[in-house]
Amino acid sequence: MKSYLMVWFSSEGGRPSEITRRLMSMGFKPIQGAYDYMYEWDSSVDVNEILRFGDRVQMTLAELGVMFRLETVDASVTSN
């Protein structure tokens, strides 16, 4: 499974380099394309684990003036 993260920055918020540093410390990789970051899970996860992960993302980005969208997909379903 993979989680994709899209981040909306604010001119009044944290620097993109600081936000990237924090997300990379969680295991995210910066990517180019429709999303800004990707997290690759070691195994299949359930919705509760994804929600806990989303909570960690929110706590990591708190007070940095950003909004984010987290999308988790089963990589085996999306790749053919």
> Which sequence spans correspond to the domains of the chain?
2-67
User: In whole angstroms, how large is the CA radius of gyration of the chain?
Assistant: 13
Lowest mean pLDDT among 2-11, 28-37, 43-52, 68-77: 68-77
At CB < 8 A and 24+ separation, what contacts does 21-30 make?
22/60, 22/61, 22/64, 23/57, 23/60, 23/61, 25/60, 26/56, 26/57, 26/60
At 12-66, the pLDDT tens digits run 999 999 999 999 999 999 999 999 999 999 988 999 999 999 999 999 999 999 9
**What is the pLDDT at residue 80?**
46
pTM (whole model) above 0.85: yes
Instruction: Please give the Cα distance from 64 to 41 (Å, whole number).
Output: 25
